[in-house]
């Protein structure tokens, strides 16, 4: 048994993997030795380049699939868990440790380099940044995991150690990221990890851990939550005090937000803290790729409804808000809505007229254009891996959870973000006095004097970071998994008939009953364009091209299989059964 585990671990740990083409040279561990390497700063840089990786826009938008924000036809893990019979036999991904071995190998050998101490500290900080991030992903998935701070050899007993407690692992990774924040250089090559990126990761991890501990009673760690809210607050305070970053705002509320996600060059953008660089010469697209249209995902009506009106009032307070036609949904809304999703009258590059939504089976009808460079050249975009907007919302949420949030804090954070899109300021007193019943229903475990403002900060995160991969982690840390049981719905159609989809008052589509025939020739509208025909029916109707909740009317349907989120079990994942067979000391937790 031990030989099998050793073969597995050595195989996984042989190579340092690089997914970032900004760094052309990698240093596979299998091709170097500590005797002939780690001698100079260039050696250290070469090795670190080999373990450097940044998420692309595609990786980010996929992180929202399967949540209440994004319906998906893809085989997304959380969706499969909620509709199936998950077990350690069927959930086998995630237990990968090769990247950690590469990091620890560096940390065991870098000190022999003939460089100044500050140079060593910089590279040690980089390695510890990557180790903290590695373990952050493991804690989010498994909670308790073995902590390894060294490379393992065949004779090491730690090959078969049990899980270490979450508290120990988090303390260790927080120590790593604090060292990184204090020692990594401020100025590095574009796309590289710098001090400010380390502070952002520190703040992100601390906010996650603080809220996870506060809202997950099964851990019994509620009393330690504030420690992490304070770490998050302090890390962002240092970032804010530096004066290095600010919200991107040129005074154009209808384009500034969108521009962040459609730029081929974010270098110099004051909001972009860490950039995954698009490089046209290397044919390297770091952007959102296939997020547009009907490709595996589509935004939910619940997400669309969460955007405020442009006067700061709640869209969900409007009479009949949930049954408004598509054209009406975008009127007088938070400008971020139309800068994120295709709106009536939007024109696709190369087109001569307004784009007409495609209404396909199992999708919502809504389309994302955030992150899509709307050009005929199909150019990619730079991706801001860390944005200053995230820092500000971390600060606001942490202080709200600590009970120390003031109106001045809101004005420096949430309201700076709202200012970009000319949305009225969030008022602390009003937020706590006038609580949104929908938010209250989504997050019933929020309480206290700051309940209302905490809920509104959560709305702000959902809107500001829509389609950026934040939603799943947010739902998990807030202990809000039950909202994932609601199958995402799409556009509403009150009846069969003709509909204007572009806002020009001219019909674009015609919805027939599934048994009706599409006329030949097709009817044309007043602009001379053929109407687009759909046959409506209930889910399972083989003749239907448009699935509606009531067959001939209702919401576009993305699925009908009941979804069950078992608490607290589904906030965690099992260790794959074959790994437990190799190491019986790895015990399953939380009912797995």
The strand pairing partners of 384, in sequence order, are 275
521 preceded by a cis bond (ω within 30 of 0): yes
Q: What are the residue boundaries of the structural domains of the chain, listed by start? A: 2-193+576-582, 489-557
Q: Considering the chain, what is the average pLDDT of its residues?
A: 92
Does the 2-193+576-582 domain belong in CATH 1.10.3470? no
Taking only the tens place, the pLDDT of each residue in 30-44 is 556 667 899 999 999
Confidence at residue 9, expressed as pLDDT on a 0 to 100 scale: 35
pLDDT above 70 for 88 = yes
Residue 255's nearest CA partner among 263, 264, 266, 265 is: 263
568 preceded by a cis bond (ω within 30 of 0): yes
pLDDT above 50 for 471 = yes
Compute the C-alpha angle 230/148/131, nearest 5°: 50
pLDDT, mean of residues 273-300: 80
Is residue 406 very low, low, confident or very high in pLDDT (cuts 50, 70, 90)? Answer: very high
Percent with pLDDT over 70 in the chain: 93
Give the number of residues written for the chain: 592
pLDDT above 50 for 430 = yes
pLDDT above 70 for 110 = yes
Confidence at residue 13, expressed as pLDDT on a 0 to 100 scale: 37
202 or 293, higher pLDDT: 202
Rg value, the chain, Cα: 25
Of 51-60, 336-345, 351-360, give the range with the top mean pLDDT: 336-345
pLDDT, mean of residues 548-574: 97
Contact, 543 vs 515, CB < 8 A? yes
Q: How far apart are CA 145 and CA 138, in angstroms?
A: 7
Residues contacting 460, CB < 8 A, separation 6+: 393, 396, 414, 417, 418, 426
Instruction: Please report the DSSP string for 88-143 in residue order.
Output: TTT---S---HHHHHHHHHHHHGGGSSS-HHHHHHHHHHHHHHHHHHHHHHHHHHS
pLDDT above 90 for 538 = yes
pLDDT, mean of residues 148-160: 90
Confidence at residue 583, expressed as pLDDT on a 0 to 100 scale: 95
pLDDT above 50 for 143 = yes
Confidence at residue 17, expressed as pLDDT on a 0 to 100 scale: 31
Confidence at residue 6, expressed as pLDDT on a 0 to 100 scale: 32
Q: How far apart are CA 564 and CA 477, in angstroms?
A: 18
pLDDT above 80 for 5 = no
Taking only the tens place, the pLDDT of each residue in 560-570 is 999 999 999 99
Instruction: Please report the DSSP string for 40-60 in residue order.
Output: SHHHHHHHHHHH-----HHHH
Q: Please state the separation of Cα 106 from the chain's center in Å.
A: 30
pLDDT above 70 for 8 = no
Alpha-carbon dihedral angle through residues 469, 472, 478, 481, given to the nearest 10 degrees? 160
Contact, 362 vs 558, CB < 8 A? yes
Q: How far apart are CA 585 and CA 272, in angstroms?
A: 44
pLDDT above 80 for 22 = no
Confidence at residue 410, expressed as pLDDT on a 0 to 100 scale: 98
pLDDT above 70 for 16 = no
Is residue 282 very low, low, confident or very high in pLDDT (cuts 50, 70, 90)? Answer: low
Confidence at residue 29, expressed as pLDDT on a 0 to 100 scale: 54
pLDDT, mean of residues 279-290: 68
Contact, 548 vs 557, CB < 8 A? yes
Is residue 436 very low, low, confident or very high in pLDDT (cuts 50, 70, 90)? Answer: very high
Is residue 283 very low, low, confident or very high in pLDDT (cuts 50, 70, 90)? Answer: low
Is residue 429 very low, low, confident or very high in pLDDT (cuts 50, 70, 90)? Answer: very high
Instruction: Tally Cβ neighbours within 10 Å of residue 31.
Output: 11
Using DSSP, state whether 530 is helix, strand or coil.
strand
Q: What is the 3-state secondary structure (H, E, C) of 394-445?
A: HHHHHHHHHCCCCHHHHHHCHHHHHHHCCCCCCCHHHHHHCCCHHHHHHCCC
Taking only the tens place, the pLDDT of each residue in 229-260 is 999 999 999 999 999 999 999 999 999 999 99
pLDDT, mean of residues 61-65: 85
pLDDT above 50 for 4 = no
**DSSP label at 224?**
G
pTM of the model: 0.94
pLDDT above 90 for 280 = no
18: part of which helix (H) or strand (E)?
Answer: none
Instruction: Tally Cβ neighbours within 10 Å of residue 557.
Output: 26
Q: How far apart are CA 241 and CA 81, in angstroms?
A: 44
Confidence at residue 517, expressed as pLDDT on a 0 to 100 scale: 97
pLDDT above 50 for 24 = no
Confidence at residue 487, expressed as pLDDT on a 0 to 100 scale: 95
pLDDT above 50 for 304 = yes
**Among 59-68, 208-217, 485-494, the least confident range:** 59-68
């Amino acid at each position: 048994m031990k030989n099998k585990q050793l073969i597995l671990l050595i195989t996984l740990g042989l190579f340092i993997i690089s997914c970032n083409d900004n760094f052309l040279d990698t240093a596979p561990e299998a091709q170097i030795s500590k005797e002939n390497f780690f001698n100079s700063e260039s050696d250290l840089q070469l090795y670190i380049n080999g373990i450097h990786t940044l998420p692309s826009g595609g990786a980010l938008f996929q992180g929202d699939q399967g949540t209440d924000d994004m319906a998906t036809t893809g085989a997304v893990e959380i969706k499969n868990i909620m509709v199936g019979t998950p077990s350690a036999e069927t959930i086998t991904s995630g237990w990968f440790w090769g990247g950690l071995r590469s990091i620890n190998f560096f940390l065991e050998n870098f000190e022999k380099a003939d460089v100044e101490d500050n140079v060593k500290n910089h590279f040690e900080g980089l390695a510890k940044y990557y180790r903290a991030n590695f373990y952050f992903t493991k804690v989010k998935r498994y909670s308790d995991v073995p902590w390894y701070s060294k490379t393992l050899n065949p004779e090491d007993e730690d090959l078969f150690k049990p899980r270490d407690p979450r508290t120990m692992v988090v303390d260790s990774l927080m120590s790593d990221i604090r060292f990184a924040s204090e020692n990594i250089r401020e100025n590095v090559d574009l796309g590289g990890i710098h001090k400010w990126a380390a502070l952002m990761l520190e703040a992100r991890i601390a906010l996650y851990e603080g809220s996870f501990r506060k809202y997950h009673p099964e851990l019994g760690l509620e009393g330690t939550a504030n420690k992490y809210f304070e770490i998050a607050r302090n890390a962002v305070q240092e970032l804010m005090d530096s004066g290095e970053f600010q919200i991107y705002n040129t005074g154009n509320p209808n384009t500034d937000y969108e521009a962040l996600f459609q730029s081929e060059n974010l270098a110099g953008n004051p909001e972009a803290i860490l950039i995954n660089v698009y490089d046209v010469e290397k044919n390297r697209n770091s952007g959102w790729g296939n997020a547009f249209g009907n490709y595996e995902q589509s935004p939910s009506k619940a997400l669309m409804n969460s955007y405020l009106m442009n006067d700061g009032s709640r869209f969900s307070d409007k009479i009949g808000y949930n049954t408004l036609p598509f054209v009406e949904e975008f009127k007088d809304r938070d400008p971020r809505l139309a800068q994120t999703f295709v709106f009536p009258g939007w024109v696709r590059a190369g087109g001569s007229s307004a784009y007409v939504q495609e209404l396909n089976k199992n999708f919502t009808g809504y389309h994302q254009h955030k992150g899509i460079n709307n050009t005929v050249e199909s150019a990619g975009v730079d991706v801001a891996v860390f944005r200053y907007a995230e820092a500000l919302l971390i600060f606001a949420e942490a202080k709200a959870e600590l009970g120390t949030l003031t109106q001045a804090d809101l004005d420096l954070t949430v309201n700076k973000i709202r200012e970009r899109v000319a949305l009225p300021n969030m008022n602390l007193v009003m937020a706590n006095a006038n609580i949104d019943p929908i938010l209250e229903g989504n997050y019933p475990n929020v309480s206290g004097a700051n309940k209302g403002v905490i809920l509104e900060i959560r709305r702000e995160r959902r809107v500001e970071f829509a389609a950026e991969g934040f939603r799943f982690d947010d739902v998990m840390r807030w202990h809000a998994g039950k909202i994932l049981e609601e199958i995402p719905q799409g556009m509403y159609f009150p009846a069969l008939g003709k509909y204007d989809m572009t806002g020009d008052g001219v019909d674009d589509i015609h919805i027939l009953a599934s048994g009706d025939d599409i006329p030949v020739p097709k009817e044309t509208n007043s602009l001379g364009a053929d109407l687009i025909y759909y046959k409506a029916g209930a889910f399972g109707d083989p003749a239907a091209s448009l699935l509606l909740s009531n067959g001939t009317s209702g919401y576009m349907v993305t699925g009908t299989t009941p979804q069950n989120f078992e608490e607290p079990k589904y906030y965690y994942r099992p260790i794959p059964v074959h790994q437990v067979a190799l190491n019986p000391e790895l015990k399953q937790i939380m009912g797995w």
